[in-house]
């Protein structure tokens, strides 16, 4: 993330992702479709900022999103949560160990020196809060969250949903650098079914 350009948060409506959208279409419009629009990604960027400001009293800087078909790399702890309902997707919060220790330490007001069950639990809760806060920003949708899963290790490969792409947004803060990867696909659901799902989903 060394050469990434960051901008101070909050960018009023998140990043202008037009460039990313253009890249999606030029890559393979039929395959990738129209999913990774700014309106579908900005809620996640805003949610990260709000979560860090409210729970961690920390402002973040947002880097330029990076488009990739799948994602692999160096982060050590990854909180993963699935979205289902009127949109399907996966949200992955990727933290180097040092950032994870700082973030969870700030959450509970304790100092952590190594990864233990509290760190794993804290990263799971953090991705749960970020995804939950983001999904509430999608008006007219009824989206459910899976229970979070936390993956450890620096050698991994996250496969995206069949016809979507990953968009990875780098962040930095006084607690350290981290990134959020999102794969998101709104489902085509008749309006009356959306209302029904909203009333009855758990």
Partner 1 sequence: MQVLIVDDSQIMRKIITGALKKLGINDIVEASNGQEALDVLAKDAANIGLVLMDWNMPTMTGIEAVRKIRAGNNKVPVVMVTTEAEKAKVIEAIKSGANDYLIKPFNPKDIQAKLEKFLQAVLK
Give the interface with partner 1 as residue ranges (CB under 8 A): 50-51, 54-55, 57, 104, 107-109, 117-118, 121-122, 124-125, 128-129, 131-133, 135-136, 142, 145, 147, 198-199, 201-202
When the beta carbons of 17 and 77 are compared against partner 1, the nearer one is 77
CA neighbours within 13 Å on the CB side: how many for 19? 6
**Minimum gap (Å) between residue 17 Cβ and partner 1:** 24
Nearer to partner 1, 149 or 154 (CB): 149
The least CB distance from residue 139 to partner 1, in Å, is 9
Report the number of secondary-structure helices (H) and strands (E) in the chain.
6, 9
CB 75, min distance to partner 1, A: 19
Shortest Å distance, C-beta 66 to partner 1:
25
Integer Cα distance of 49 and 40 in angstroms: 16
Residue 170: strand pairing partners? 179
> Coil, helix or strand for 142?
coil
Q: Which is nearer to partner 1, 60 or 129 (CB)?
A: 129
SS3 content of the chain, % helix, strand, coil (to 5): 35, 30, 35
């Amino acid at each position: 993330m060394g050469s990434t350009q960051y901008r101070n948060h909050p960018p009023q409506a998140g990043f202008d992702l037009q460039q990313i959208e253009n890249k999606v279409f030029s890559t393979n419009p039929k395959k990738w479709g129209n999913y990774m629009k700014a309106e579908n990604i900005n809620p996640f960027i805003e949610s990260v900022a709000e979560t860090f400001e409210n729970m961690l009293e920390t402002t973040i800087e947002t880097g330029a999103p990076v488009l990739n078909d799948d994602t692999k790399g160096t982060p050590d702890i990854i909180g993963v949560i699935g979205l289902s309902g009127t949109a399907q997707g996966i949200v992955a919060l990727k933290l180097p160990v040092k950032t994870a220790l700082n973030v969870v330490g700030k959450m509970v007001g304790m100092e952590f020196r190594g990864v233990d069950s509290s760190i794993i639990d804290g990263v799971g809760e953090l991705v749960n809060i970020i995804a939950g806060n983001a999904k509430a920003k999608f008006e007219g949708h009824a989206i459910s969250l899976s229970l979070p899963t936390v993956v450890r290790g620096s050698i991994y490969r996250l496969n995206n949903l069949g016809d979507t792409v990953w968009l990875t947004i780098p962040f930095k803060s006084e607690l350290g650098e981290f990134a959020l990867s999102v794969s998101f696909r709104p489902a085509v659901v008749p309006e009356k079914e959306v209302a029904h799902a909203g009333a009855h989903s758990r």
